[in-house]
């Protein structure tokens, strides 16, 4: 990922200890910020953690060069991704953008005057779903249960869902991943950068509604995997999948099962799920608080 940074920033980061690096935050004319396992901190030009006043100050060039390197000086070729607010790098790492929105005909046309870049390292955790596999696939690995993973932000639900998809696909099920925000498979030029299994088709960038219709019509899935359900029409999508006899694996924001059950949009669709996994950050991301079997 460092090769996409301006040479000056590469020098700074080259001097720093980047063990457990999670994020690099570049904000125009503001201090360089890094996140690792321990949290956020500023970095000096010598690559040492420091106070904001002593930190390396991000220049316009530090913001422009990564964009030129990532887009290969071809902004127009990345239009859709830019409108989505992020660019995906080889390896599945992502660069979030902030800048000035330009609207035309009531729609976002482009983003100008980029003022922030957030580099986020993608990291798959193979084996994250190991403790759940017996519950999800049942005895003998032939009977799959539709599963909903519930957790607060940063609770590790996407990581768990990705590994669940990988393991289920490798057991022989035909899996379709509807990767609306390119977070599950992190496709780069059509190639999943994170392992989602041998028998997995990825619908990259599709919204859930179109993705489900496409999957049912063209791909014949046994399992559909999708992240972050919570929109008003997601209930309809889940019902459509259940009608077609397709199992669903999805994630949902929430602190507890009781909180999720109260949501109006989900009430009628909860019957789709047979298993609910509640996660928290109590002992770090991915802490399994409870696994509920729903009849």
Which residue lies nearer to another protein by CB, 105 or 153?
105
Residue 216 tokens read as: 């049912």
Residue 179 tokens read as: 């990767």
Which residue lies nearer to another protein by CB, 19 or 73?
73
Smallest separation (angstroms) from another protein to the CB of 61: 9
Which residue lies nearer to another protein by CB, 3 or 293?
3
Which residue lies nearer to another protein by CB, 116 or 287?
116
Task: Quote the CA–CA distance of 62 and 60 in Å, as a whole number.
Answer: 5
Residue 229 tokens read as: 């359900």
Residue 107 tokens read as: 């729609």
Smallest separation (angstroms) from another protein to the CB of 82: 8
Distances from the Cα of 291 to the Cα of 135, 147, 276, 279, 287, angstroms: 9, 10, 6, 9, 11
Which residue lies nearer to another protein by CB, 8 or 174?
8
Task: Quote the CA–CA distance of 291 and 282 in Å, as a whole number.
Answer: 16
Smallest separation (angstroms) from another protein to the CB of 147: 38
Which residue lies nearer to another protein by CB, 76 or 258?
76
Task: Quote the CA–CA distance of 170 and 198 in Å, as a whole number.
Answer: 6
Smallest separation (angstroms) from another protein to the CB of 171: 38
Which residue lies nearer to another protein by CB, 77 or 198?
77
Contacting positions for another protein (CB under 8 A): 6-7, 64-66, 68-69, 71-77, 79, 109-110
Task: Quote the CA–CA distance of 57 and 46 in Å, as a whole number.
Answer: 12
Report residue 52 CA to chain centroid gap.
Answer: 30
Smallest separation (angstroms) from another protein to the CB of 223: 32
Task: Quote the CA–CA distance of 87 and 71 in Å, as a whole number.
Answer: 9
Smallest separation (angstroms) from another protein to the CB of 66: 7
Smallest separation (angstroms) from another protein to the CB of 183: 23
176 CB-contact burial (10 Å; exposed 0-12 / middle 13-18 / buried 19+): buried
Which residue lies nearer to another protein by CB, 13 or 178?
13
The Cβ of residue 163 has, within 10 Å, a number of other Cβ atoms equal to 25
**Measured CA angle at 179 (ends 143, 27), to 5 deg:** 140
Q: Which residue has the tokens 């001097």?
A: 15
The phi, psi pair for 229, rounded to 5°, reads -75, 155
Smallest separation (angstroms) from another protein to the CB of 135: 45
Task: Quote the CA–CA distance of 106 and 87 in Å, as a whole number.
Answer: 23
């Amino acid at each position: 990922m460092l090769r996409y940074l301006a040479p000056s920033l590469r020098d700074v980061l080259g001097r720093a200890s980047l063990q457990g690096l999670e994020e690099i935050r570049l904000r125009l004319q503001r201090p360089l910020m890094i996140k690792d396992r321990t949290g956020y901190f500023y970095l000096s030009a010598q690559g040492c953690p420091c106070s904001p006043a002593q930190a390396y100050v991000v220049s316009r060039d530090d913001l422009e060069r990564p964009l030129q390197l990532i887009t290969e000086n071809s902004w127009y070729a990345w239009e859709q991704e830019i409108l989505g607010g992020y660019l995906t790098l080889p390896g599945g790492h992502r660069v979030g953008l902030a800048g000035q929105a330009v609207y035309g005909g009531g729609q976002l046309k482009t983003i100008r005057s980029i003022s922030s870049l957030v580099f986020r390292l993608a990291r798959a955790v193979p084996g994250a779903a190991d403790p759940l596999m017996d519950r999800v696939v049942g005895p003998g690995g032939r009977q799959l249960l539709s599963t909903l993973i519930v957790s607060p932000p940063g609770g590790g639900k996407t990581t768990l869902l990705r590994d669940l998809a990988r393991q289920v696909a490798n057991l022989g099920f035909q899996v379709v991943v509807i990767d609306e925000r390119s977070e599950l498979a992190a496709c780069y030029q059509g190639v999943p950068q994170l392992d989602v299994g041998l028998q997995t088709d990825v619908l990259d960038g599709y919204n859930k509604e179109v993705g489900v219709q496409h999957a049912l019509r063209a791909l014949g899935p046994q399992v559909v995997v999708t992240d972050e359900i919570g929109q008003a029409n997601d209930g309809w999508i889940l019902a459509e999948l259940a009608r077609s006899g397709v199992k669903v694996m999805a994630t949902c924001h929430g602190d507890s099962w009781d909180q999720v059950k109260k949501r109006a949009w989900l009430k009628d669709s909860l019957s789709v799920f047979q298993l609910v996994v509640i996660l928290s950050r109590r002992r770090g991301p991915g802490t399994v608080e409870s696994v509920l079997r729903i009849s």
